[in-house]
Amino acid sequence: MRALVLNEPGCVSVNQVAVPDPGPGEVLLRVEAATTCGTDLKAYLRGHPQIPMPGLFGHEYSGVVEAIGEGAPFEVGDAVMGVHSAPCFECRHCRRGQENLCETVMSTKVLGSYAEYLLIPARIARVNVFRKPDWLPFERASLLEPLACVAHGVESARLDPEDDVLVIGPGAVGLMFVAVLRHLGFANVTLAGRNAERLAIGADFGARAVPLAELAGVYDTVIECTGKVEVWERSLDFARRGGRLVLFGGCPTGTSASFDTKRLHYDQIDVTSPFHFGTHAVRRARTWLLDPSFDLGALLSGERSLDEAAAVFADLEAGRGVKYVFRP
Ligand SMILES: [Zn+2]
Ligand SMILES: [Zn+2]
């Protein structure tokens, strides 16, 4: 099969690799849609601790079951959507309700959705893959994983629909936060950033869109979605006394940020930095995707072929488009 391989930062190639054979409980998918992700862009530009190189690439997907191993919970021909990891339910973190931090969640994840076929391990197929209804397009179903991250963020930040919320960073995740919060009935959502095209999508989703340079005032909740240290530090300025700061965008490994201790303590600002997701968040994201009134189609910037992958990442780096769809 044809598969995109990330050889080293800035270097991808389309290679011929063997189609995997599903073992007990495993599911082989023919990939119908695989969406690009900010994590993939980070890996492409500078490498990523969770994405080995050289290696198969891509973790967002939807597809049709091509073959199954013994005891797998699907049948050949099922259209499915899923995420690329699953918790063990047994480790210390899982037992204490922190499945997102499961000790083996990252070592057992699956990479390689930018390929004709993707093998889903038994542990993931069992809990985090679902049948896809016919009406839901494959490319929208492929958004389950980033949406699960957003669901985890919304849950761990304990937001209130009365909140005046500021989202900083109009990338795919920031825009998903806007769409989800509006879907959940939040009336006052502001989106700040630099990219006018992406801010316009946020305005269509129902946010008040503001260029970052003109941002002022304070908010009940600030959700940082850029993963840039200087924006992490600055985002504290926009939280009100007694408000909440959600540092959602992961910064490069080895960086550190500093914050005004007076604001953190005497203004009692609640800081949280949610990472990844557990099975509850995946299910919540799935209910959103299955609601026809919740349409993230505006985030999809077009279909591209695997051969164009380098150009796709160049476009994403330059801020052209939000998410592209490979249909390998
Ligand atoms: Zn992703
Ligand atoms: Zn675990």
CA 221–ligand 1 middle distance (angstroms): 24
Mean pLDDT of 55-75: 97
Q: 8 alpha carbon to ligand 1 midpoint, in Å?
A: 19
Tokens of 99: 């499945």
User: Tens digits of per-residue pLDDT, 284-304?
Assistant: 999 999 999 999 999 999 999
Considering every ligand atom, which ligand is closest to the CA of 100?
2
Q: Is residue 174 part of a domain?
A: yes
Q: Looking at the structure, tell me whether residues 31 and 138 fall in a common domain.
A: yes
Residue 104 Cα to ligand 2 middle (Å): 6
Ligand 1 centroid to Cα of residue 60, in Å, is: 6
Q: What is the mean pLDDT of the chain?
A: 96
* One domain for residues 57 and 74: yes
Q: Rounded to whole angstroms, how far apart are CA atoms 164 and 210?
A: 14
* Residue 50: predicted pLDDT: 84
Q: pTM for the full model?
A: 0.96
Q: Are residues 76 and 104 in the same domain?
A: yes
Sequence length of the chain is 328
Q: Answer yes or no: is 153 within a domain.
A: no
Q: Given pLDDT bands bounded at 50, 70 and 90, which one contains residue 263? A: very high
- Percentage of the chain with pLDDT > 90? 94
Place 158 in a pLDDT band, splitting at 50, 70 and 90.
confident
Mean pLDDT, residues 128-150: 98
C-alpha 40 to ligand 2 mean position (Å): 24
Q: Domain of 31: which CATH number?
A: 3.90.180.10
Question: Ligand 2 mean position to 280 CA, how many Å?
Answer: 14
Query: How many angstroms separate the alpha carbon of residue 239 from the centre of ligand 2?
Result: 34
Output the 3-class SS for the chain: CEEEEEEECCEEEEEECCCCCCCCCCEEEEEEEEECCHHHHHHHHHCECCECCCEECCCCEEEEEEEECCCCCCCCCCEEEECCCCCCCCCHHHHCCCHHHCCCCCCCCCCCCCECEEEECHHHHHHCEEECCCCCCHHHHCCHHHHHHHHHHHHHCCCCCCCEEEEECCCHHHHHHHHHHHHCCCCEEEEEECCHHHHHHHHHCCCEEEEHHHCCCCEEEEEECCCCHHHHHHHHHHEEEEEEEEECCCCCCCCCCCCCHHHHHHCCCEEECCCCCCHHHHHHHHHHHCCCCCCCHHHEEEEECHHHHHHHHHHHHCCCCCEEEECC
Find the domain containing 183 and state its range: 158-272
Residue 95 resides in a domain: yes
**Percent of the chain residues topping a pLDDT of 70:** 100
Going by pLDDT thresholds of 50, 70 and 90, the confidence category of residue 11 is very high
- As a whole number, mean pLDDT of residues 145-172 equals 95
Ligand minimally distant from the alpha carbon of residue 299: 1
- Is residue 182 very low, low, confident or very high in pLDDT (cuts 50, 70, 90)? very high
* Ligand minimally distant from the alpha carbon of residue 145: 1
Inside any domain, residue 35: yes
pLDDT band (50, 70, 90) for residue 253: confident
Cα(135) to ligand 1 centroid in Å equals: 23
CATH code for position 193? 3.40.50.720
Domain boundary among 226, 246, 272: 272
Ligand closest to the CA atom of residue 150: 1
Ligand nearest to the CA of 50: 1
Instruction: Tell me what pLDDT residue 107 has.
Output: 84
Q: How confident is the model over 81-104, as a mean pLDDT?
A: 97
Task: Tell me whether residue 302 is in a domain.
Answer: yes
Nearest bound ligand to the CA of residue 59: 1
Residue 106 has pLDDT above 90, yes or no: no
C-alpha of residue 292 to centroid of ligand 2, in Å = 33
Q: State residue 48's pLDDT score.
A: 87
How many Å lie between the centroid of ligand 2 and the Cα of residue 127?
13
- Using the mean position of ligand 1's atoms as its centre, give its distance from the Cα of residue 266 in Å: 37
Best CA proximity match to 202, nearest among 221, 219, 189, 183: 189
Relative to the alpha carbon of 48, which ligand is closest? 1
**Same-domain check for residues 115 and 80:** yes
Looking at residue 64, its pLDDT comes to 98
Number of structural domains the chain divides into: 2
Distance (Å) from CA 62 to ligand 1 centroid: 13
* pLDDT band, very low/low/confident/very high, at 67 (cuts 50, 70, 90): very high
- Same domain for 193 and 179, yes or no, is yes
Q: What is the pLDDT of residue 108?
A: 85
Average pLDDT over residues 237-251: 96
Closest CA to 72 of 135, 129, 12, 138: 129
